């Protein structure tokens, strides 16, 4: 799968204390950062402030193939308007999870195409946006259905389930019967056909389960799913959860479905006590469910000779390739035509983790 989209996030602006805590966290992860010159420390602080200034716009391209994942991204908070005008149709950064010994001994790499700088790692994996989930249900709303209906024996034993595993889960018919006749000891299900829209049904599931939104604890929960149809395909128009114990809620809306059942707009809102709502909107510009590309072209760590390439597995930058001569930077095939390297790794690696934090609980694999 290949997805082209813009991600717009609206969240509370970070305080000076939160920025300081982030810098401290980075220093704990990367010990050498705390010893950098004062001028560079200011750059790090300013970068953290820009990345959490309230409204953010990310221009992204995501690639999926089995366990491989690639995120090409330009964060408007990290570049100037002139940069955006001068580099249309390209991306400033790439985060790639290879995690395939047959393809490369490295598990991941990060590329800054403006600096022509690459960091390889045999241990690190980056957070994922997993925008393909717009085609189904996000983990926050899918989790209770698995708990209430799935036959646990049909899933993997002794390890965390992947999305490929979850798609093979079977329904436990005894659980389904209990839910259907209202005798389930934990869950209660109600189905309501919308009077104005005969093709829409509202399902309300109530019970007590673990919350995937803070606080992460057993809570009295209510889940609502509004299901409609695009052609013969059922689609989730809106899903929500209300944590009556933790007084938090989550709402997900999908709009403008295409013939494949993929929405053009995906809006998610998280509300927690004592905090303003956190909004994350995705506007899909292009979706290819069955694109033609070779994994080696998109996910392999192969770079032009004018890029500097380093291995950061040990925590120290071991330079593997130096530019032979200075030429105009070219973008990798995937539609993306030393102290500073460590800073860039910190800034953008943690940014990707932040954007994918709500979805990291279920590892996405899409063939």
Mark which of 278, 303, 333 sits at the end of a domain. Answer: 278
Task: Name 216's Cβ contacts closer than 8 Å, sequence gap at least 6.
Answer: 210
Judge whether 253 lies within some domain: yes
Q: 268 and 143 share a domain?
A: yes
Res. 322: pLDDT tops 70: yes
Mark which of 278, 309, 324 sits at the end of a domain. Answer: 278
Q: 202 and 260 share a domain?
A: yes
* Choice among 45-49, 98-102, 344-348 with the minimum mean pLDDT: 344-348
Q: 114 and 208 share a domain?
A: no
Q: 121 and 144 share a domain?
A: no
Specify the pLDDT at position 50.
74
Residue 301 binned pLDDT confidence (cut-offs 50, 70, 90): very high
Residue 198 binned pLDDT confidence (cut-offs 50, 70, 90): low
Taking all residues of the chain, what is their mean pLDDT, rounded to a whole number? 84
DSSP symbol at 280: E
Count of beta carbons in the 10 Å neighbourhood of residue 366? 19
Judge whether 100 lies within some domain: yes
Give the number of domains in the chain. Answer: 2
Specify the pLDDT at position 70.
98
Judge whether 213 lies within some domain: yes
Res. 352: pLDDT tops 60: no
The token pair at 44 is 């790090």
Res. 367: pLDDT tops 50: no
Judge whether 95 lies within some domain: yes
The residue-averaged pLDDT of 139-156 equals: 88
Q: Give me the domain span that covers residue 47.
A: 2-130+290-359
Among all chains, which residue has been given the structure tokens 């004592």? 274
Residue 207 binned pLDDT confidence (cut-offs 50, 70, 90): very high
Distance CA 254, CA 250 (A): 14
Judge whether 273 lies within some domain: yes
Judge whether 252 lies within some domain: yes
Q: 186 and 254 share a domain?
A: yes
Residue 325 binned pLDDT confidence (cut-offs 50, 70, 90): low
Q: Taking the CA atoms of the chain, what radius of gyration do you get in angstroms? A: 22
Tell me the percentage of the chain whose pLDDT exceeds 70. Answer: 86
Q: 103 and 177 share a domain?
A: no
| 320 vs 356 pLDDT, higher one | 320
The residue-averaged pLDDT of 200-218 equals: 91
Res. 348: pLDDT tops 80: no
Distance CA 209, CA 222 (A): 10
Q: 118 and 204 share a domain?
A: no
For residue 209, list its beta bridge partners: 219
Distances (CA, A) of 198 to 190, 192, 234, 263: 17, 10, 13, 21
Residue 340 binned pLDDT confidence (cut-offs 50, 70, 90): very low
Render pLDDT for 62-101 as a digit per residue (tens, 0 to 9). 999 988 999 999 998 888 788 888 888 899 999 999 999 9
Specify the pLDDT at position 216.
87
Q: 126 and 146 share a domain?
A: no
Mark which of 278, 307, 330 sits at the end of a domain. Answer: 278
Q: 116 and 10 share a domain?
A: yes
Query: Are β-strands 308-311 and 117-121 bridged in parallel, bridged antiparallel, or unpaired?
Result: parallel
The residue-averaged pLDDT of 276-295 equals: 93
Q: 106 and 220 share a domain?
A: no
Q: What is the DSSP string of 57-116?
A: EEEEEEEEEBTEEEEEEEEGGGS-HHHHHHSTT--SEEEEE---TTT-S-SEEEEETTTT
Judge whether 365 lies within some domain: no
- CA–CA–CA angle 365, 356, 287 (5° rounding): 55
Q: 260 and 207 share a domain?
A: yes
Res. 328: pLDDT tops 60: no
Residue 260 binned pLDDT confidence (cut-offs 50, 70, 90): confident
Asked whether the whole model's pTM tops 0.75, one would answer yes
Judge whether 225 lies within some domain: yes
Res. 51: pLDDT tops 80: no
Q: 273 and 334 share a domain?
A: no
Residue 263 binned pLDDT confidence (cut-offs 50, 70, 90): very high
Res. 357: pLDDT tops 70: no
């Amino acid at each position: 799968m290949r997805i082209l989209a813009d991600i717009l996030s609206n969240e509370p602006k970070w305080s000076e204390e939160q920025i300081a805590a982030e810098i401290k966290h980075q220093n704990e992860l990367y010990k050498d950062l705390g010893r950098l010159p004062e001028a560079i420390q200011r750059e790090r602080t300013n970068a953290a402030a820009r990345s959490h200034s309230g409204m953010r716009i990310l221009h992204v391209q995501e690639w999926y193939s089995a366990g491989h994942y690639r995120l090409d991204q330009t964060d408007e908070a990290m570049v100037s308007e002139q940069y955006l005008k001068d580099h249309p149709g390209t991306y400033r950064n790439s985060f790639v999870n290879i995690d395939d010994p047959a393809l490369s001994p490295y598990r991941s790499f990060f590329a800054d195409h403006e600096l022509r700088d690459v960091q390889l790692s045999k241990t690190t994996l980056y957070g994922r946006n997993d925008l393909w989930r717009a085609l189904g249900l996000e983990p926050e709303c899918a989790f209770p259905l698995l708990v209430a209906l799935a036959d646990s024996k049909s899933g993997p034993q002794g390890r965390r389930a992947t999305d490929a595993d979850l798609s093979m889960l079977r329904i436990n018919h005894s659980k389904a019967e209990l839910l259907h006749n209202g005798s389930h000891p934990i869950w209660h299900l109600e189905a309501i056909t919308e009077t104005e829209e005969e093709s829409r049904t509202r399902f309300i599931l109530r019970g007590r389960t673990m919350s995937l939104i803070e606080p992460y604890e057993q809570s009295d929960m209510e889940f609502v799913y509004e299901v409609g149809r695009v052609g013969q395909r059922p689609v989730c128009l809106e899903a929500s959860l209300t944590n009556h114990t933790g007084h938090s809620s989550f709402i997900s809306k999908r709009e403008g479905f295409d013939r494949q059942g993929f929405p053009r707009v995906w809006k998610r809102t998280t509300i927690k006590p004592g905090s303003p709502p956190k909004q994350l909107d995705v506007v899909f510009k292009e979706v290819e469910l069955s694109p033609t590309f070779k994994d080696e072209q998109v996910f392999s760590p192969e770079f032009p000779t004018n890029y500097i390439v380093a291995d950061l597995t040990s925590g120290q930058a071991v330079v593997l390739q130096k530019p032979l001569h200075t030429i105009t930077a070219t973008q990798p095939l995937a539609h993306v035509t030393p102290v500073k390297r460590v800073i860039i790794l910190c800034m953008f690696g943690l940014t990707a983790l932040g954007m994918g934090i709500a979805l990291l609980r279920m590892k996405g694999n899409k063939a």
